[in-house]
Amino acid sequence: MFNFQIEKESGMARTGTLTTPHGKIKTPGFVPVATRGALKGMSFRDAKSIGADVFMVNTFHFYCKKEYEIVEKMGGLHGFLNTDYPLMTDSGGFQVFSLGTGYGQDVGKLPRKNQKKLSPLKKKNAHFFKGRGGVKIEEEKVIFKSPFDGSRVEITPESSIKAQMKLGADIIFAFDECTSPLESYDYQKKSLKKTNRWAEKSLETLQNKKQRMMGIVQGGRFEDLRKESARFISSLPFFGFGIGGSFGESFGDSKENMNFILELLSKELPSDKPRHLLGIGEPEDIIEGALRGVDLFDCVIPTRFARHGAVLTSKGRINIKSSRYREDNTPLDENCSCDICLKHKKSYLHHLARKKEIYGIMLLTYHNLYFIFNLMEKIRKAIERDSLEQFREGFFKSYKMF
């Protein structure tokens, strides 16, 4: 029922098919995030029609109030959401990190003081060991205040996996400690030991044949720790690998560092198992990741961007709320053939976004996801033709970064 088949290799990059009991996933593939069991502004069916073949649900959001119990009673996520598509759940590790440092915006009612972005200097000291945001990482568990109701919540590898078993997604993730790329070597080293121990416990806990687990590689920006992590995690019978940690500038790290680590891992991880780069990313990150052998990406960016009026286009990201689009009668992206670009002018989408109309969110979500799935298809085709490097060059010629 579960299988991962590589179809074409081209340098570090590869295309493949990941088979689950609920259907096949083409790789490199993008996994849209349905945090609470729904995309924010689009049906699974519509997402499927533009290329989505798997969705990620966040365990954390069903964990804090034990809502996974209700989901289980309703037939697991597939029954609860009434969907036949392949589903994934993450383990909650990222949300715990997010809660601790206050970076993430996806944990709801986080107290305002924790939501502020920390300055680069402060980030260095911003690890949750010090109890930031009420998060305490112990040897066998994490303890924190629920961002939803302030109650005390504990997560252990066992409890995360048990929750994920009740949710019943096809692909689940081991519980890890997600670290900041700015953590010290000593911290990362100690943390990695814990993540490795938790990986074993996570695997031991999964007691069914309907789900497969991905182990998570950590180790921050340190070459030897990433290698150590890859070797340890790949020595365990995981179905595939999540590449964890927080990359990129919003975490005070450089994208070059991410690329370096992905190259390293492409050698260290067994090539016949799928590699999922967790929480990434922007179009440029996805291309760089695919070039370095990443098979799966999940990210809230296309959907979250849409809620803020940020639009992915072949010329780069634009913000449709900008007054320059007030009377613009061109589509969002001249090179896009999605329903929104075929039908609507920027002026209308500007108006809807400025007025915070729900329908505006729906239209931009559709376009942004279409953009990403179209990108994934182009990436797969480029790999098939051994021309991903050239595709990358062409892409960046028109796509402006900022």
**Residue numbers of the site for a copy of itself (CB under 8 A)?**
36-43, 67, 70, 73-74, 80-82, 326-327, 329, 343-345, 347-348, 351-352, 355, 357-362
Nearer to a copy of itself, 41 or 133 (CB): 41
List phi, psi (to 5°) of 307. Answer: -70, -15
Please choose, from the candidates 242, 137, 143, 229, the residue with its C-alpha nearest in 3D space to the C-alpha of residue 189.
229
CA distance 362 to 40: 8
Q: Rounded to whole angstroms, how far apart are CA atoms 10 and 315?
A: 27
At closest approach, how far in Å is the CB of 106 from a copy of itself? 12
DSSP H helix total and E strand total for the chain = 17, 16
Residues sharing a CB contact under 8 Å with residue 341, sequence separation 6 or more, in sequence order: 331, 332, 333, 334, 367
Give how far Cα 330 sits from Cα of 151, 354, 368, Å. Answer: 50, 17, 17
Q: Rounded distance, CA 35 to CA 33, Å? A: 6
CB 307 → a copy of itself: shortest distance, Å?
Answer: 8
- Which runs of consecutive H residues, i.e. helices, occur in 214-357? 223-234, 255-268, 283-291, 301-307, 339-343, 346-354
Q: Catalytic annotation on 295? A: no
Mark 300-317 as b/e (b = at least 16 C-beta within 10 Å): bbbbbbbbebbbbbeeeb
Q: Is the preceding peptide bond at 316 cis, omega within 30 degrees of 0?
A: no
Minimum CB separation of residue 40 from a copy of itself in Å reads 5
Contact 28, 61 (CB under 8 A): no
Which is closer to a copy of itself, CB of 134 or CB of 360?
Answer: 360
29 versus 360: smaller Cβ distance to a copy of itself: 360
Check 90, 106, 170, 285 and give the catalytic one. 90
Q: How far apart are CA 145 and CA 176, in angstroms?
A: 18
Minimum CB distance to a copy of itself smaller for 268 or for 328:
328
Look up 90 and say whether it is catalytic.
Answer: yes
Please list the alpha-helical segments (H only) found in 116-222: 120-123, 157-167, 185-205
Dist CA 335 CA 349 (whole Å): 17
Q: Please tell me the distance from the alpha carbon of residue 294 to that of residue 300, in angstroms, as a whole number.
A: 18
Residue 124's contacts (CB-CB under 8 Å, 6 or more residues apart) are 182
CB of 38 to a copy of itself, least distance (A): 4
Q: Which residue in the list 106, 170, 176, 298 is annotated as catalytic?
A: 298
The CA-atom distances, in angstroms, between 362 and each of 39, 273, 340 are 10, 35, 10
CB of 43 to a copy of itself, least distance (A): 7
| Buried-exposed string 179-199: b where 16+ CB fall within 10 A, e elsewhere | bbbbbeeebbbbbbebbbebb
Shortest distance, CB of residue 74 to a copy of itself, whole angstroms? 5
When the beta carbons of 13 and 349 are compared against a copy of itself, the nearer one is: 349
Distance between CA atoms of 135 and 154, rounded to whole angstroms? 10
Whichever of 79 and 131 has its CB closer to a copy of itself, that residue is 79
The answer to whether the CB of 167 falls within 8 A of the CB of 60 is no
Which residue number, 73 or 400, has a Cβ lying nearer to a copy of itself? Answer: 73
Nearer to a copy of itself, 67 or 90 (CB): 67
Active site residues: 90, 298
